[in-house]
Amino acid sequence: MITQFICRAILLGVPLLYGSTGEIITEKSGHLNLGIPGIMYVGAISGVIGAFLYEGAAAGAMNGVLAVLIPFICAVVGSILMGLIYSFLTVTLRANQNVTGLAITTFGIGLGNFFGGSLVKLTSSDLPSIALTKTSAFFSVKLPFADSLGAVGEILFSHDFLTYLAIIIAVLASFVLNKTRVGLNLRSVGENPATADAAGINVTKYKYLATCAGSAIAGLGGLQYVMSYANGVWSNNAFGDRGWMAIALVIFALWKPSFAIFGSFVFGALCNANNYIQGLGTETQELFKMLPYVVTIVVLIITSMRKKREHQPPASLGISYFREDR
């Protein structure tokens, strides 16, 4: 049962890991992208549309590589488009980041639910609903030796490739942010864009790249949710508030992708703990579901009280940069 609990926590944690890694990269450039929940919906629905069209076109004779690659690319492209809208408005047009982000979220969730609810009608397809079980089966191909290694094998090796990709991306992001020149430049843009600008860093380019890369990563979280967690079945609003939880996780992880790996599994466990504690009524289970948010608030308060410099959000987070401002 413990093995099952851990596996479940990891499965629930992976979308959060994608979302928060993306948001960390974006926030490092000084942009608080509250559009992440919407972008994750768009990532999910773009992947679903890609898979839906491919399943319809291939009609049974599906190629495994294509079945994975098409939804993957669709999800990335869809979320990058959303990221582009956000960064055009906030970087180039210097619109208010909170308002733009929330509008992106409204728009993105609307897109997700709209296409999720109307895709069958719009394509006048024969399928009754969106159930991409075939594509999902290709997504959840497991490592062949997972079953033969007992509990350890199940915890470490029984996941789909998107889980490992999430961890690889987070480790890579951590490396790039902390050990490379690009990462140093990006962090300086987020801390003080005027200084970065004076040092010859192209602030606009960094902000655009960070936001779009972050969006692409976050979108994959939506894809993982549909394909692995929900077995390819799209139902409206099923993704829920995981996007906001991903933003909470950014604080929990103190703006460090490597902490986010651990944090996402803790969040996954917290989300799921209510199902594994014996003797809880339905109503008490609901109270347990607030745990991740309470923990986030506690972390937020403690970090702001301790005022340790390496645990703070980027200094110019949420503030648009205009070169000619004094």
Partner 1 sequence: MAKVKHHREPLFHIVKRDDMVWWQAWLVRIATIVISVFLMGLLSKMLTEKSLLETFEIMYRGVFGRIETGSTVMLWKYLQEIAILLCLALALTPAFKMKFWNCGAEGQALIGGFASMICMIELGKTLSYPVLLAVIAVTSMLAGALWGLIPAVFKALFNTNETLFTLMMNYIATQIIAYYVYLKGGGSNIIQPVAEGNLPTIGGNRYLVNILVVALLTVFVYVYLKYSKHGYEISVVGESQNTARYIGINVKKVIIRTMAISGALCGVAGMLLVAGTDHSINTNTVGGQGFTAIMVSWLGQFNPFIMVFMTGLICFLRLGAGKVADTCMLNSAFADIVVGIVILCVVGCEFLIRYSIKFRHGKKEVKA
Q: Residue 324, interface with partner 1 (CB under 8 A)? A: yes
Q: Residue 286, interface with partner 1 (CB under 8 A)? A: yes
Q: Residue 264, interface with partner 1 (CB under 8 A)? A: no
- Contact residue for partner 1 among 142, 179, 289, 308 (CB under 8 A): 289
Q: Residue 309, interface with partner 1 (CB under 8 A)? A: no
Nearest CB to partner 1, comparing residues 42 and 74: 42
Binding residues with partner 1: total (CB under 8 A): 61
Nearest CB to partner 1, comparing residues 84 and 171: 84
**Residue partners of 197: CB distance under 8 A and separation at least 6:** 203, 321, 323
Q: Residue 32, interface with partner 1 (CB under 8 A)? A: yes
Of 79, 84, 23, 21, the residue nearest 50 (C-alpha): 79
Of 273, 312, 314, the residue nearest 290 (C-alpha): 273
In whole angstroms, give the CA distance from residue 8 to residue 268: 8
221-240 positions binding partner 1, by CB under 8 A: 236
Q: Residue 148, interface with partner 1 (CB under 8 A)? A: no
Q: Residue 124, interface with partner 1 (CB under 8 A)? A: no
* Whether the Cβ atoms of residue 76 and residue 88 lie closer than 8 Å to each other: no
**Residue partners of 133: CB distance under 8 A and separation at least 6:** 231, 232, 233
- Contact residue for partner 1 among 167, 296, 314, 321 (CB under 8 A): 296
Q: Residue 194, interface with partner 1 (CB under 8 A)? A: no
Closest approach of Cβ 89 to partner 1, in Å?
A: 5
The helices-and-strands tally (H runs, E runs) of the chain is 14, 0
10-29 positions binding partner 1, by CB under 8 A: none
Nearest CB to partner 1, comparing residues 142 and 323: 323
Q: Residue 282, interface with partner 1 (CB under 8 A)? A: yes
Q: Residue 275, interface with partner 1 (CB under 8 A)? A: no
In whole angstroms, give the CA distance from residue 91 to residue 216: 18
Q: 63 in helix, strand or coil?
A: coil
Of 140, 133, 163, the residue nearest 228 (C-alpha): 140
User: What string marks each residue from 90 to 119 as x (binds partner 1 by CB under 8 A) or -?
Assistant: --xxxxx-xxx-xxxxxxxxxxxxxxxxx-
Closest approach of Cβ 256 to partner 1, in Å?
A: 16
Q: Residue 34, interface with partner 1 (CB under 8 A)? A: yes
Beta bridge partners of 131: 233
DSSP line for 94-152 = ---HHHHHHHHHHHHHHHHHHHHHHHHHHTT-S-SS-B-HHHHHHHT---TTSGGGHHH
Residues that bind partner 1 (CB under 8 A): 32, 34, 85, 88-89, 92-96, 98-100, 102-118, 121-122, 204, 236, 241, 244, 247-248, 251, 281-284, 286-287, 289-290, 293-294, 296-297, 300-301, 304-305, 307, 313, 318, 322, 324-325
